[in-house]
């Protein structure tokens, strides 16, 4: 009788059978210093259940890390009169400065196109398209150009099959952060999926901050641009004078 009651409660209330993400990061703060050459963040977690795992297709995990988004104007160059000039342009509403996505299996096996559009997980769907292009131009060509350039700079990456899942419960992966990071708050999202549908989502934040001398110079340039300009000029003059003095001494010797 008790077993029947428990089974009824589980079926009547899906929350009893829900799978939830419990996740953590190896670090929540990335400090950009003068010798910063990139770092890696370990993302790990477990699947919390109040009942046995449902028999509804294999469990999959998606981990995505996105940097701050900003508008981007993409221009196309063409050769005219013997020189390269900008001919056409499209305004991308928002593109993340950094984006990495890792999964437990090939993307098409992990997530449906419908849920990808809903949660905006793949790189193409993370970029909010785009202002209107001129007649005869495809706006997606310009957003693809953003993706291509940032891939080449190590800012966009896809690592399908790179998330390790143990016993349908424990998972982990490492996300590489390059040296050319933009300062700001980075969003880490972890998704559980079954039958290519999202069953739970966990979101946390990674702070990327300049520290030390880099922080002081950044604040000076943005908060007191006149002082920053004068100081830069003084340093340039002093460096030029010093180099000239050293060359004169070497020439005399």
What are the backbone dihedrals phi and psi of residue 173, each rounded to the nearest 5 degrees, phi first? -160, 170
Residue 123 clears pLDDT 70, i.e. is over it: yes
Instruction: Find the helix packing angle between 225-252 and 213-223, rounded to 10°.
Output: 120
Please indicate whether residue 106 or residue 247 has the higher confidence score (pLDDT). 106
3-state SS class at 3: helix
pLDDT band at 14 (very low <50, low <70, confident <90, very high): very low
pTM (two decimals): 0.74
Please indicate whether residue 219 or residue 234 has the higher confidence score (pLDDT). 234
Please indicate whether residue 71 or residue 243 has the higher confidence score (pLDDT). 71
3-state SS class at 14: helix
pLDDT band at 98 (very low <50, low <70, confident <90, very high): very high
pLDDT band at 215 (very low <50, low <70, confident <90, very high): low
Mean pLDDT along residues 162-184: 94
Residue 12 clears pLDDT 80, i.e. is over it: no
3-state SS class at 65: strand
Please indicate whether residue 36 or residue 234 has the higher confidence score (pLDDT). 36
Mean pLDDT along residues 63-80: 81
Q: Tell me how far apart the 2 most distant CA atoms of the chain are, in Å.
A: 104
Mean pLDDT along residues 196-219: 82
The answer to whether 202 touches 24, Cβ cutoff 8 Å, is: no
Residue 40 corresponds to which tokens in the numbers above?
Answer: 């890696």
Mean pLDDT along residues 160-189: 94
What is the 8-class DSSP label of residue 241?
A: H
Residue 68 corresponds to which tokens in the numbers above?
Answer: 């701050």
Of 199, 215, 206, 156, residue with least CA distance to 180:
156
Edge-first strand order for the sheet with 29-32 is 29-32, 197-210, 184-194, 60-66, 99-103, 156-159
Q: Strand runs (DSSP E) across 33-155, as ranges?
A: 39-49, 60-66, 69-80, 83-96, 99-103
Q: How far apart are CA 62 and CA 5, in angstroms?
A: 35
Mean pLDDT along residues 170-192: 95
Edge-first strand order for the sheet with 19-25 is 19-25, 39-49, 170-177, 164-166
């Amino acid at each position: 009788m008790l077993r029947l009651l428990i089974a009824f409660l589980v079926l009547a209330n899906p929350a009893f059978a829900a799978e939830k993400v419990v996740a953590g990061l190896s670090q929540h703060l990335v400090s950009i210093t003068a010798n910063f050459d990139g770092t890696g963040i370990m993302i790990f977690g477990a699947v919390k259940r109040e009942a046995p795992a449902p028999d509804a297709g294999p469990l999959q995990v998606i981990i995505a890390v996105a940097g701050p988004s900003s508008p981007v104007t993409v221009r196309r160059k063409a050769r005219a009169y013997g020189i390269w000039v900008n001919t056409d342009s499209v305004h991308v509403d928002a593109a993340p400065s950094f984006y990495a996505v890792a999964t437990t299996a090939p993307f098409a096996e992990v997530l449906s196109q419908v849920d990808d559009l809903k949660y905006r997980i793949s790189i193409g769907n993370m970029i909010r398209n785009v202002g209107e292009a001129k007649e005869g131009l495809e706006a997606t060509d310009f957003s693809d150009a953003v993706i291509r350039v940032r891939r080449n700079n190590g800012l966009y990456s896809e690592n399908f099959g790179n998330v390790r899942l143990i016993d349908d419960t424990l998972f982990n992966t490492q996300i590489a952060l390059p040296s050319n990071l933009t300062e700001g708050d980075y969003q880490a999202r972890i998704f559980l999926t079954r039958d290519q549908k999202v069953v739970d989502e966990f979101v946390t934040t990674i702070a990327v901050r300049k520290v030390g001398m880099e922080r002081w110079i950044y604040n000076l340039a943005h908060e007191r641009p006149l002082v920053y300009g004068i100081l830069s000029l003084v340093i340039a003059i002093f460096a030029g004078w010093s180099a000239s003095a050293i060359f004169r001494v070497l020439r005399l010797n």
